[in-house]
Amino acid sequence: MPSTATPTPDHATADVAVIGGGPAGLMAAEVLAAQGASVAVYDAMPSVGRKFLMAGKGGMNLTHAEPEPAFLGRYGTRAAQLAPMLAGFGAQALRDWVHGLGIETFVGSSGRVFPIDMKAAPMLRAWLHRLRESGVQFHMRHRWLGWDGGDSGDRGRHALRFATPHGDTVVHARAVVLALGGASWARLGSDGAWVPRLAARGVEIAPLRAANCGFDVAWSEAFAERFAGAPVKPVAIALNDRDGHAHYRQGEFVISRDGIEGSLVYALSAPIRDRIEADGEATIHLDLLPSHSAEQVSAQVEHPRGSRSLSSHLQSRLGITGVKAGLLRECLSRDAMLDPGTLALSLKALPLRVLRPRPIDEVISSAGGVRFEAMDASLMLRALPGVFCAGEMLDWEAPTGGYLLTACFASGRTAALGAAAYLKQQD
């Protein structure tokens, strides 16, 4: 998407500097402009919304239409902190807002909400046009370096230093909204470089961790060579988390050369990751026949097979073939395969040892970030008055399905309202 960036003279000024041009930052800019503030958006990339556009390549999943209690529960241990933000701008409000851009939406069979054309680019173009019409200024290729000369707003104005293609420049703003993302997909702008800058100012930050991620498995070379890229479906994954709570979810995932990935794995990535962090590894159990009861599986396995091979028997009686048959051979010993009782149990609960999450730069999103305890209810940093945080750089996580994007929009709005109130207090 072409940039219409405005050159930034040294010591430029604005009421609010929004640093980060993703959904949270752009929403903050829109809300602030509507409040009458002069707003300048700064982003390190040549154009804004790059991760937003990447997310839309597979179909722009905006939000989810499930009932509010279930929706809020997707945010786990941070549901209480996100609840007031989502009450102000939740799933329906987001759909209404998208409709205001001239983009219609629909609810898919899974409850996920999409633009009618499934694309992100038309929505972003309409949004940027509206932002420019409201007076928001955009400054691309501006990488935030921190505060100039140690000035972090102690005198009511923040001196912000940026690296640009033309050298460093300083911007003064009365308030700042940081929407710098997490640490996934660094090439799209979210590289986590802000962590040491805020930590040095006394801001409490939870370590950034992989979320909505795949995991490494020590496949044999033969299995990886044959089945990399193969989908496993239908299947369910069972796991006991660190607190002893049982998770069981059905869906599908994909075998990768290094391990497992895909929607079902992402949905359970948080408890799997936490078990690995606690124990050094985790064992998940695969239900290869989620539509069959344990009794049905046992009866079919123990059915006399005559002269047929075990592979032919499992295929004819239970439809086990291809990658599912490969998983059995990969995870079970020969003796276990030949024992009907063990085999039947394993078809419903095949143990699979997972070693580590995939590197954070290649995952869908990251967990960790600025702790809510380091901010007030308006998302202003207690250690840095006049500096607000929003989006994925906050310490929360959620599964895919529209929950990530919804909370980014909602937190951007909350930070903007907080910044607007702060400006009024300073007048």
Residue pLDDT, tens place only, 174-216? 999 999 999 998 888 899 999 999 999 999 999 999 999 999 9
Q: Would residue 3 count as lying in a domain?
A: no
The pLDDT of residue 414: 98
Per the domain annotation, does 341 fall within a domain? yes
Work out the percent of the chain whose per-residue pLDDT is above 70. 96
Q: 370 and 343, same structural domain? A: no
* Nearest of 199, 144, 176 to residue 370 by alpha carbon: 199
**Contact of 259 with 217, CB cutoff 8 Å:** yes
Instruction: Specify whether 138 is located in the same domain as 51.
Output: yes
> How many angstroms from the chain centroid is the CA of residue 156?
34
Query: For residue 5, is it within any domain?
Result: no
Q: Check whether residue 220 and residue 314 sit in a common domain.
A: yes
Pick from 287, 285, 284: nearest CA to 275: 284
Tell me if residue 325 falls in helix, strand or coil. Answer: helix
Same structural domain, 124 and 269: no
Closest-CA residue to 354 (of 371, 331, 338)? 331
Sequence-separated (6 or more) residues with CB below 8 Å from residue 264: 235, 236, 237, 249, 250, 251, 252, 253
Tokens describing residue 217: 């498995």
Q: What pLDDT sits at residue 151?
A: 52
Q: What pLDDT was estimated at residue 186?
A: 87
Is the domain of 161 the same as that of 269? no
DSSP helix/strand/coil, 162? strand
Indicate whether 103 and 148 sit together in one domain. Answer: yes
Mind spelling out the 3-state secondary structure of 61-94? Answer: CCEECCCHHHHHHCCHHHHHHHHHHHHHCCHHHH
Domain count for the chain = 2
Whether the per-residue pLDDT at 1 is higher than 60: the answer is no
Q: Do both 342 and 381 map to the same domain?
A: no
Range of the domain at 251: 215-357
- Of 337, 357, 377, which one is at a domain's C-terminal end? 357
**388 with 415: CB under 8 angstroms?**
yes
The Cα–Cα gap between 31 and 302 comes to 65
- Cis preceding linkage at 234, omega within 30: yes
pTM of the model: 0.92
Q: How far apart are CA 25 and CA 61, in angstroms?
A: 19
- Average pLDDT value for residue range 397-412: 96
What CA–CA distance (Å, rounded) separates 14 from 12? 7
Which residues of 23-83 form beta strands (DSSP E)?
39-42, 63-64
Under DSSP, is residue 35 helix (H, G, I), strand (E, B) or coil? coil
95 pLDDT more than 80: yes
Q: Where are the beta strands (DSSP E) in 179-264?
A: 205-211, 215-216, 231-240, 246-255, 259-261
Contact 405, 63 (CB under 8 A): yes
233 backbone dihedrals φ, ψ, rounded to 5°: -160, 150
The reply to whether 330 falls in a domain is yes
3-class secondary-structure state, position 93: helix
**C-beta of residue 164 within 8 angstroms of C-beta of residue 8:** yes
pLDDT band at 156 (very low <50, low <70, confident <90, very high): low
Domain final residue, candidates 322, 357, 392? 357
Domain of residue 54, CATH code: 3.50.50.60
Q: Are residues 57 and 137 in the same domain?
A: yes
